[in-house]
Amino acid sequence: MGDSAVLRLTKDLIARHSVTPIDADCQSALAERLNAAGFKCETLVFGEVTNLWARKGVAAPLVVFAGHTDVVPTGPLDQWSSDPFTPTERDGKLYGRGAADMKSSIAAFTVAAEEFVAKFPKHKGSIGLLITSDEEGPSINGTVKVCQALSARKQTLDYCIVGEPTSVKDLGDMVKNGRRGSLSGKLTIKGRQGHVAYPHLARNPIHLLAPALAELTQIEWDKGNDYFPPTTFQVSNLHSGTGATNVVPGTAILDFNFRFASISTPAELKERVVQVLNRHHLEFTLDWTLGGEPFLTPKGRLSAALSLAIHQETGVQTELSTTGGTSDGRFIAKICPEVIEFGPINASIHQIDEHIRLDALEPLKNIYRRTLEHLLLA
């Protein structure tokens, strides 16, 4: 593919050690380019997190590209085939931390925006970029805070493409038009510690928990819908015991998680769990953490424009999906009616030797540019 603009920018971003929440001047490099292309760039700092809001134009509709410059830690360096912060071409692939998640997407939609405004300087509407360095971390001072700031200014977004790596086998074969919610619980069952030889003097919390847990694993929480699979309940950890084999433990701690569809609410799920625990006459405490609410963008103009762009560039018929974990799309959906996630193949994300195919970079950029054309030139 040669030394293209998108490849050069991807390499430049990978070379910056932007492990969450550090941005390592990725955003300032992007702002310099975007300023030159006519964008008004604003740095928004919340806590230790740097965010970039860039916009060109003031008219509607506003089409926004969103992404994150932060990456997850590298893991053991000696297990990488090459330095994770030295972008390396090998066997038709570009290796480095963030190559797929998601510095290639950021480079692609930045160059796509540059090309579009250069070719169509009198386009209608506006283009925005929302970049954070707090997506891989706690997600407290990143996109959610920027969206709150924009909402306070009464700035509304019409369409947003989040550059998450959504493709499975071929570029564009899957995009995300929603995500399930995530609700975690930490359940502590209270028993009475004692000697295993005198069980009548003890109350084993594991034994007490077992029937309730069996019931919880068999409940149909909902049936899902046309866009979401049924809500799932999964146990992630079970802790109990003193380490001795002759002691009945005094407590058992269970960690569990719901990935829930838009037809269920956190309040409903919490209530049903408590009903089960009460029915089994358990003495317990239960702490909840809402990791993210679900969001859904039904088929509409954005999904149609993106699907057409993907097919024009690759010949692939894309699939709309709501599978996978949470993303910053859940925050953007609060201020934007149509949010779709689309990016490169996700097979290597967060792994040793993360990479993207070199021949995917130019098509990825072109798909983003074509989507702008369909939304702002029609």
The pLDDT of residue 159 is 98
Q: Residue 239 annotated as binding?
A: no
C-alpha atoms less than 13 angstroms from C-alpha of 82 in its C-beta half-sphere: 16
| Residues paired with 259 in a beta bridge | 182, 232
Task: Say whether both 284 and 309 belong to one domain.
Answer: no
Select from 236, 268, 292 the last residue of a domain. 292
Q: Residue 355 annotated as binding?
A: no
Q: Domain range spanning residue 131?
A: 5-179+294-377
Task: Say whether both 173 and 99 belong to one domain.
Answer: yes
Six-digit token string for 88: 């390396």
Task: Say whether both 134 and 153 belong to one domain.
Answer: yes
| Residues paired with 27 in a beta bridge | none
The pLDDT of residue 69 is 98
Give the mean model confidence (pLDDT) for residues 194-219: 98
In whole angstroms, give the CA distance from residue 95 to residue 337: 35
Tokens 């625990």 belong to 277
Task: Say whether both 15 and 141 belong to one domain.
Answer: yes
Q: Residue 17 annotated as binding?
A: no
The pLDDT of residue 366 is 98
Task: Say whether both 123 and 38 belong to one domain.
Answer: yes
SS3 214: helix
Burial class (CB in 10 A: 0-12, 13-18, 19+), 72: middle
CATH no. for residue 63? Answer: 3.40.630.10
The answer to whether the beta carbons of residues 186 and 287 sit under 8 Å apart is: yes
Instruction: Count how many domains the chain has.
Output: 2
The pLDDT of residue 66 is 98
Task: Say whether both 54 and 149 belong to one domain.
Answer: yes
Give the mean model confidence (pLDDT) for residues 112-130: 97
Q: Residue 68 annotated as binding?
A: yes
Task: Say whether both 119 and 237 belong to one domain.
Answer: no
In whole angstroms, give the CA distance from residue 88 to residue 222: 46
Alpha helix stretches (DSSP H) within 120-255: 143-152, 205-218
In whole angstroms, give the CA distance from residue 40 to residue 324: 34
Rg of the chain taking only CA atoms, in angstroms? 24
324 vs 52, residue with greater confidence: 52
In whole angstroms, give the CA distance from residue 92 to residue 323: 29
SS3 304: helix
Task: Say whether both 209 and 250 belong to one domain.
Answer: yes
Six-digit token string for 212: 């309730």
Residue 378 has pLDDT above 80, yes or no: no
The pLDDT of residue 27 is 98
Six-digit token string for 326: 């949470």
Select from 230, 259, 292 the last residue of a domain. 292
User: DSSP per residue over 48-90, as a string?
Assistant: TEEEEEEEE-SSSPEEEEEEE--B-----GGGSSS-TTS-EEE
CATH no. for residue 268? Answer: 3.30.70.360
Please name the amino acid found at residue 3.
Answer: D
pLDDT digits (tens, 9 = 90+) for 21-45: 999 999 999 999 999 999 999 999 9
The pLDDT of residue 238 is 98
Strand pairing category for 62-68 and 174-176: unpaired
- Residue 3: CB atoms within 10 A of its CB come to 7
Six-digit token string for 333: 């959906």
Q: Average per-residue pLDDT in the chain? A: 97
Residue 271 has pLDDT above 80, yes or no: yes
pLDDT digits (tens, 9 = 90+) for 128-184: 999 999 999 999 999 999 999 999 999 999 999 999 999 999 999 999 999 999 999
- Which of 70, 115, 134, 341 is catalytic? The answer is 70
DSSP count for the chain of H helices, then E strands? 9, 19
The pLDDT of residue 326 is 86
pLDDT digits (tens, 9 = 90+) for 303-350: 999 999 999 999 999 999 998 888 999 999 999 999 999 999 999 999
- Which of 135, 293, 338, 354 is catalytic? The answer is 135
Q: Residue 359 annotated as binding?
A: no
Task: Say whether both 288 and 299 belong to one domain.
Answer: no
Question: Does 135 qualify as catalytic in the annotation?
Answer: yes
Question: Does 70 qualify as catalytic in the annotation?
Answer: yes
Task: Say whether both 55 and 157 belong to one domain.
Answer: yes
Tokens 């390396």 belong to 88
The pLDDT of residue 2 is 64
Select from 292, 315, 330 the last residue of a domain. 292
Task: Say whether both 67 and 170 belong to one domain.
Answer: yes
CA dihedral for 30, 32, 36, 40, sign (positive or negative): positive
Under 8 Å CB-to-CB from 152, ≥6 apart: which residues?
none
The pLDDT of residue 32 is 98
Residue 1 has pLDDT above 60, yes or no: no
Task: Say whether both 224 and 322 belong to one domain.
Answer: no
